[in-house]
A and B are shown apart, each in its own frame.
Chain A
Amino acid sequence: MITTTALTKSYGNARVVSDVSLNCEPGTITGFLGPNGAGKSTTLKMIVGLARPDHGWSTVAGVPFVDLPNPTRVVGTLLDPSAMHAGRTGRATLMIAARMAGVPTVRVEELLDRVGLADAADRRVGDYSLGMRQRLGIAQTLVGDPQVLILDEPANGLDPEGIAWMRGLLRDFADQGGTVLLSSHLLHEVQATVDHLVVISQGAVVASGRLTELLASSSLLLRTPDPDALARALDVARIDYHLGPDQSFTVDVLGGRVTPDLVARVALEQKVLLTELRQSDSGGLEQLFFSLTAAEPAPTKEAAA
C-alpha cells in the first residue's frame, strides 16, 4: 500500500535521505525508527508530496500521492501536530478537512468523540496542549475514512494513557486491513505497537524486517556449576562459545541452527548440569539502535509551544 523505491534527497551537499526503499502491506503497522535528524520526516514528506526527491519515487495505494484525486479519502497524514491554525477551533479544523474530503459533517462530531475532544471542540487550537493537538491531528487523518495512515512521531506529547489509546486505535485500524507507517526516535515507544520495523540512520536504511525477527536474540546464555565440563561438552558438539562474566557461557544461535533444545541435549548427553539456559538479554537490534542513538546528543523533543 505504501512503496518507496530508492528515495534520495540532498540539501546542498548534505545528503539527508539515501536510497530509502520501504514496503508497507495492508493489515500491518510499520515503525520507521531512527535518531532525530536521521531523515525520517524528510522521507515521509517525500511520500506525501510535500518535498521533492532528487531521485527515486513512491506510491500510495499504487499511485504517486500527488496523483491521488482526493488524497484524504485514501491516506490520512499527520506530519506535525503543531502545524495547525491557532485561531481556529478544533471543530472548525475538522470541518475544513471534512469539506475537502467531501464527507458528511456528522463525521466531525463522531471523530471529536472518538479522540476525546468533544468537550474542547469549541476552544481555539492555540489553547490546546501538544497532546490535544496530536489527538485532533489523528481525528483529521481519519476524516476521509482512509486505508492508509502516515504519522510522524504520533506519540510525541501524549501521556502514557494517550500512548495506550493511540496503540489501540492503530491496532484496530490495521486489523481492519489498514496500512500504517509511523515514525519514532524511541525503540521502546513503538516496540509494543508495530509489526514491522525499518531502522534508518544518517539517511540510509540499516535494518528492516518483522519486529519479532529483528528483536529475536542472536545468542543463548548458559550457566553451570561445572564450567570445565560444559566447555568440553560444547567442544565435542562443535558449538562455539564465549565465556562471559560470572562463569556464564554465551552461544551464538547461528540464525536458528543452535536452539535451546539442542544445547540442552548436548548437556544431557555429557551429563552436565545446566542451571540456566535462556535467550540472552540484549538483542542485536537493540544494540544497533543504542549504538545509533548514542552517537547523537541528548534526544530533543520536537515539541511545540
Chain B
Amino acid sequence: MTSITMTLPVPTTGADAPATTFAGIPFGRLVRVEWGKATGTRAARWLLAAVGASTVGLMLAPLFSPSTIDQSYTSYLGFAAVALSILLPVVSILTLTSEWSQRTAFATFTQEPRRMRVITAKITVSLMLGAAAAVFGGLVTAAGLGVAAAFGRTLDANLNAGLLAAFLLYVVLNVMTGVALGALVHNSAAAIVASFVLPIGFALLGRASQLVAEWFDYSTTFNWLLNAEWSGHGTQILTSVILWVAIPLTAGLLRTLRREIN
C-alpha cells in the first residue's frame, strides 16, 4: 500500500512551491510555547503562587494539631494532596479556556491549524505541571515531617512506593478533571465555577444515594485511590474517571475541533 502511494508523482506547483518547503511545527516546540502561555501571565503566576502557598498552609494543620490529626507520613502527604487538588485544576482549566475567553484562538489556530496538536500540547503541559506540583507537594510534606521530627514527635513511617505512586496519580487525575472541564466548557468563569460546584453537588447527592457516592462522586473514589485502597474499588474509581475525565474530554475535543472561531 505504502509503496504504491509513494511512487505516485508529486505535482510541482512552480511559484507555489515555497509554501510547503517549511517543515511542520515540532510537537516539542508546541509544548514549550504552551508551557510559556500557561505560566507566563501575571494571573497564572499568582495562581501558581497560591497553589504553593496553600500547600504550605495546609501542612501547618497536622503540625499544629498533633492531638487530633494522625502523625504519620501518609497523613501529612494527604494534606499536600488535598491542597493541590483545590487550585491546580483551575490552572489547567485556564490553560484550555483562555484561548476562548481571551480570544487568542484566532492567532493560535492560524499558527497551527491542526487544533488537536495544540490541545494535546496543552494537556501535556497540564500533566507536566501536575507532576511538578506533586513533586513540590512531596517536598513540602518532607519539610513538614522534618519539622515534626524536630519537635520530637513520633511519626509513623507508613509510606511506600505504591502510596507515593497513588499520590502522583491522585494529583494528575485531579488535574485531568480540570483539563476535561476546560476543554468542554471554553468559558473560564463558568468552567471554574463548575469545577467547584459539581463535585459539591455530587458529594451532596452521594449522601442521599450510596450508588452516587461510590461510583460517581470522585471526592470519594479518588480518596480510595489516594489511600491505595484498590481492593473492591478499582471499577468504581475507573467509573468516576470515565465520568469526570474521559467523557467530558472526548466531548470537549470534538467541540474544539469543530468550533468556529469568533
Interface residues of A (CB under 8 A from B): 1, 26, 45, 48-52, 60-63, 65-66, 68-75, 77, 79-80, 82-88, 92, 95-97, 99-102, 124, 140, 147
Tell me the residues in window 143-191 of chain B with beta carbons closer than 8 Å to chain A beta carbons: none
A292 vs chain B, min Cβ distance (A): 24
Main secondary structure of the interface of B (DSSP, over half): helix
CB-defined A-B contacts under 8 Å, sample of 24: A1-B16, A49-B109, A49-B110, A50-B110, A50-B261, A62-B15, A62-B16, A62-B17, A66-B113, A68-B20, A68-B22, A69-B25, A71-B110, A75-B110, A83-B105, A84-B103, A87-B41, A87-B42, A87-B43, A88-B41, A95-B36, A100-B29, A101-B111, A102-B29
Distance A37 CA – B103 CA, assembled complex (angstroms): 20
A172 vs chain B, min Cβ distance (A): 19
Residues of A within 8 A of B109 (CB): 49-50
Distance A87 CA – B59 CA, assembled complex (angstroms): 32
Are A83 and B104 interface neighbours, CB within 8 A?
A: yes
Are A70 and B22 interface neighbours, CB within 8 A?
A: yes
How many chain B residues sit at the interface, stated as a range, is: 35 or more
Are B260 and A77 interface neighbours, CB within 8 A?
A: no
List of 9 A-B pairs having minimum Cβ-Cβ separation, nearest first: A62-B16, A61-B19, A83-B103, A69-B24, A87-B41, A50-B261, A83-B106, A66-B113, A100-B111
Partner of B24, one of A70, A96, A97: A70
Distance A83 CA – B24 CA, assembled complex (angstroms): 25
Residues of A within 8 A of B43 (CB): 87
**Which B residue sits closest to A49, measured CB to CB?**
B113
Residues of B within 8 A of A140 (CB): 107
Residues of B within 8 A of A75 (CB): 110
Partner of A45, one of B103, B258, B260: B260
B201 vs chain A, min Cβ distance (A): 31
Q: Does B72 contact A (CB under 8 A)?
A: no
Q: Does B4 contact A (CB under 8 A)?
A: no
Distance A26 CA – B15 CA, assembled complex (angstroms): 10
Distance A102 CA – B29 CA, assembled complex (angstroms): 8
Partner of B113, one of A71, A84, A95: A71
**Which B residue sits closest to A152, measured CB to CB?**
B106
| Contact mask for chain B residues 224-241; partner A; CB cutoff 8 A; 1 contact, 0 none | 000000000000000000
B32 vs chain A, min Cβ distance (A): 7
- Known contacts: A52-B260, A70-B23, A70-B24. The answer to whether A99 contacts B16 by CB under 8 A is no
Distance A83 CA – B111 CA, assembled complex (angstroms): 14
Distance A196 CA – B32 CA, assembled complex (angstroms): 41
A133 vs chain B, min Cβ distance (A): 12
Are A51 and B110 interface neighbours, CB within 8 A?
A: no
Residues of A within 8 A of B33 (CB): 96, 99-100
B259 vs chain A, min Cβ distance (A): 9
- Known contacts: A61-B16, A84-B103, A99-B32. The answer to whether A72 contacts B260 by CB under 8 A is no
Residues of B within 8 A of A49 (CB): 109-110, 113
Residues of B within 8 A of A101 (CB): 111
Partner of B102, one of A48, A51, A72, A84: A84
Residues of A within 8 A of B104 (CB): 83-85
| Contact mask for chain B residues 96-121; partner A; CB cutoff 8 A; 1 contact, 0 none | 00100011111101111110000000
Q: Does B13 contact A (CB under 8 A)?
A: yes
Are B20 and A69 interface neighbours, CB within 8 A?
A: yes
B71 vs chain A, min Cβ distance (A): 43
